[in-house]
Chain A
């Protein structure tokens, strides 16, 4: 059974750095083709694709946020970490991690999602 769970602070102050952890089970991020992504959703708004890390440590970012994002993995702990610098109230959102989909190969739709974690940015 595949599970993903996000964890991190629920409240951060403006200008601070956010660190979120995605802890997963049921798959290995060392297997060829596997990738875990981060997606966020401001309250009442649409989904926004943020970043994706692949089994081979290739990393891709949203161009609009690339300067503020870092995605890493710790395969020994089955975790993926997303950091976002210089947080602003507009970054208030539910942050999800999700696993790439498998269909005779791995592709970048998201087949399994965590429940998400709400992060509020406020002083």
Chain B
């Protein structure tokens, strides 16, 4: 199974500042035939199901504010939230969907306001 490891486990960022969350996969999730990284990011607020933010490592889901961006390739990925807003307080998860299941999730990163 591919293991997804996020860092940090938690972080506190001031309003208006940038938050950076990292995700590392135990093997590459880049599919050479289409040059796509099979990596998604989700946001989960308390009491709510996860919400898809980004897929293909960098494609924003429809309706997601452009302050959210994803980058990286192969085994190392980053979710960046520019100009942090109060409503961005949540737990963020990465997930791979490469090759065969299980399509594992990272352990989550809790984002708070400093």
Asked whether A49 is an interface residue with its Cβ less than 8 Å from the other chain, the reply is yes
- The reply on B1 being an interface residue by CB < 8 A is yes
Q: Which residues of B contact A96 (CB under 8 A)?
A: 49-50
A46 to B9, CA, bound (A): 11
In the complex, A64 Cα to B55 Cα: how many Å?
26
CA distance A113 to B96 in the complex (A): 17
Give Cα A106–Cα B19 distance, bound, in whole angstroms: 30
Chain A's closest residue to B41 (CB) is: A109
Query: B13 an interface residue at 8 Å Cβ cutoff?
Result: no
Q: Is the CB of B52 within 8 A of A110?
A: yes
CB distance B105 to A47 under 8 Å?
A: yes
- Give complex CA distance A115, B59 in Å: 24
Instruction: Contact check, A61 vs B52: say whether CB atoms are below 8 A apart.
Output: no
Main secondary structure of the interface of A (DSSP, over half): strand
Hey, what's the 0/1 contact readout for A10-50 against B, CB within 8 Å counting as 1?
A: 00000000000000000000000000010100000011110
Given A62-B102, A110-B50, A46 and B38 contact (CB-CB distance below 8 Å): no
Instruction: Tell me if B107 is interfacial: C-beta within 8 Å of chain A.
Output: yes
Q: Looking at chain B, what size class is its interface with the partner chain?
A: 20 to 34
Q: Give the residue among B1, B100, B103, B104 with the most A Cβ atoms within 10 A.
A: B103
In whole angstroms, what is the CA distance A39 to B104 when docked? 10
C-alpha gap A28/B11 in the complex (Å) = 40
- In this complex, the interface size class of chain A, counting residues with CB under 8 Å from chain B, is 20 to 34
Q: Quick check: is A119 within 8 A (CB to CB) of the other chain?
A: no
Shortest CB distance B35–A (Å): 14
- Is the CB–CB distance between B61 and A49 below 8 Å? no
Please encode chain A, from 66 to 96, with 1 for each CB lying within 8 Å of some chain B CB and 0 for all others: 0000000000000000000000000000001
Q: Judge if B97 is at the interface, Cβ distance under 8 Å.
A: yes
Rounded to whole Å, the gap between the CB of B38 and the closest CB of chain A is 7
Interface 1/0 per residue, B34-58 and A, CB below 8 Å: 0000101010100011111001100
Instruction: Encode B87-114 as 1/0 by CB contact (under 8 A) with A.
Output: 0000001010100111111111000000
Chain B interface residues toward A at CB < 8 A: 1, 38, 40, 42, 44, 48-52, 55-56, 59, 61, 93, 95, 97, 100-108
